[in-house]
Structures are given as structure tokens and as C-alpha cells.
Structure 1
Amino acid sequence: MPERYGSWATLHTRFRRWARDGTFERMFRAAQARAGAAGDIEWLVSVDSTIVRAHQHAAGVRKGGSASRESAGPEAA
């Protein structure tokens, strides 16, 4: 950090204090309001609520253990 900001300990203390007391949140909200008033933010929101359901037996191993079965392909011969 440039020396003009002070020691790292001072910066760390200030950062923690500002994070705790909501200073960063207020700064963000002010910048957001200013940009919104100037028309610099496109307030378009897209929400995807797609749900894919799987059959109850699709997510586990076969009953009777986890022994692998031999392939019936040409390599099995």
C-alpha cells in the first residue's frame, strides 16, 4: 500500500471497523443509487427456477452390494 494510507495495522483496523459498522454497504448503496439515477445500470433480472427430478432409484447403487458386473461386450470373451 502507498505510504500515504498509513501503516498496514492502521489500514487493517480501519477496514475491520468499516466492515463491521456498515460503511462499505452504505458506500455501495450510494454508488448504486447514483449510477441508477444516471441511467448507468440496467435493472434486468433473470431467474431460472428449473427443477429436474430423478427417480428414487436413480441415485444409488444396486441392492445386494456394490459388486461390479462383467460386461457382455466383446472384451469379456
Structure 2
Amino acid sequence: MIDAIAWKFQTGSQWVHLPEKYGSWKGAYTRLRNWAIDGTWERVFTALLAQADADEDLEWVVAVDSTIVRAHQHAAGARKKGTRPASLATTPSAGPGAG
């Protein structure tokens, strides 16, 4: 089952193209979803990380630069097309409690 799931994500193919040697694509897909929902994958990855850490096999490298992380132009404070509308004047409320 793990090989079927790994094949799917390595190739990027659709589940229906899963080779017959891995069994039913529906079974592999269902197992993947169930394991994601019930937390099996999280427990597996946590155990693998703990084992690798105990064996001192982990080397954390984080690299972030502007070629892979970009903010949307509006998030960066860019003006939208056209001129900025003038501020509307504030007028007192005529509702209850105003005055």
C-alpha cells in the first residue's frame, strides 16, 4: 500500500492510472484518506523523525529567498490602478443615543 501511495505522488499521475501491481487504485486512495483522517500519517512521521533524531541523522536546512517566496503586489503596499479616492467626510449619526 505504501508503494502505491508513493508511486502516485512521485509520478503525479491520477489515481486511476495506478499500475495493477499495486492493487486497486480505489483501495489505495481510500487507505490514504483514512490514514490522513485518523492521524496515522502524523504518527508515522513523528516516529520517523524521533528515530532519525535519536540516530543523529537529522540535519535541518531552511533556505528562503525572493525567488521562491513572493508577496502579492497588494500585500506589498502597491497602489491599485487609478487614483486614490478622497476620504469621505465624517457626519454625526442620527441614530438613537447620538447627540
Tell whether 2:23 aligns with 1:6: yes
When normalised by structure 1's length, the TM-score is 0.51
Tell whether 2:52 aligns with 1:38: no
- Between structure 1 and structure 2, the one with the greater Rg is 1
Q: Residues 16 and 59 (structure 1 numbering): CA distance in 2 closer, same or farther, change over 3 Å?
A: closer
Q: Which letter maps to 1:39?
A: E
Q: Determine the C-alpha separation between the residues in 2 that align with 1:11 and 1:25.
A: 18
How many aligned positions are there?
A: 52
Q: Determine the C-alpha separation between the residues in 2 that align with 1:3 and 1:44.
A: 38
- The Cα of 1:6 is off from its aligned counterpart by 1.3
Structure 1 vs Structure 2 CA RMSD: 2.9
> After the TM superposition, which parts of structure 1 deviate over 3 Å for at least 4 consecutive aligned residues?
42-45, 58-64
- SS state at 2:58 partner: coil
- The Cα of 1:4 is off from its aligned counterpart by 3.4
- The Cα of 1:36 is off from its aligned counterpart by 0.2
Tell whether 2:72 aligns with 1:28: no
When normalised by structure 2's length, the TM-score is 0.41
Q: Which runs of 5+ in 1 are unaligned?
A: 46-57, 65-77
Structure showing greater relative contact order (alpha-carbon pairs closer than 8 Å, 6 or more residues apart)? 2
Q: Determine the C-alpha separation between the residues in 1 that align with 2:27 and 2:78.
A: 53
Q: Determine the C-alpha separation between the residues in 1 that align with 2:19 and 2:48.
A: 25
